[in-house]
Structure 1
Amino acid sequence: MREPLAPDMFDELCPSGLAPIRFGDKWAPLVIACLEGGPRRFSELRVPLRRVTPKMLTKSLRGLERHGLVQRTGQTHLEYALTPLGRSMLEPMKVVCAWAGEHWEELLDAREAYDNRLG
């Protein structure tokens, strides 16, 4: 039996949201991170990704599948798993997340300054 995903796996203030580099759509990196430990069912992914609507999660999964990063398996119980190509994204994602975490304050300050100029 595999370990369940932690409901608080992604902090609401996760630095990945500040990274100016995107891997697919907004939720794709979080889906990839959830699948790092092995295949998961949709309902399992919904636990840490509770802020994502089911429709958006489905869209992200389909996009990742289309790009060859995720594979859907099973007949009656569908599971999603990283392909070797998807697994190769883990290391670059960790580097980007570490960079965003290191530059957290600068990124927040830049966003605030930009928003203040607009409005």
Structure 2
Amino acid sequence: MSEDDYTPPSTAPTLSLSPGTGAGIAGLVIGCTLLLSACVLMVFNVILFVQGMRDVPRDLAQCGGLIGTTGGAVLGLISVGISVRGWDATRRSGESSVLGFAAFAASVVGLGAWLIAGIDLMMILLK
């Protein structure tokens, strides 16, 4: 073994988050992403409602809309579960539970907005 084969130990700082903080950040990111995607979906819903289904296969659009809407709703439910778990972990550890509450609020609002936009999409596709 030569000196060229030796790699010194890493001195890079490590970052570790408590379970409550990590879950709070994850719930906040997923909830805000759902809220943003619901707003974008509503814009496309309005365009689709005004211009109609020009040369788009209706069956394929309905199947894709159902899969996408269901997937978004499941992601929203997972986000609510993660944020509740994070909120509970911060409460039990004595940390500030502001991040947990914010994650819960963002998850619930994102899930609600996504359900509204998804149901609106399905109503447009089924007309």
Task: Please indicate, yes or no, whether the TM-score normalized by the shorter chain is above 0.5.
Answer: no
Larger Rg over CA atoms: 2
Structure with a larger share of its residues in helix: 2
Q: Which has the higher contact order (CA 8 A, sep 6+)?
A: 2
Name the TM-score, length of structure 1 as normaliser. 0.30
Structure with a larger share of its residues in strand: 1
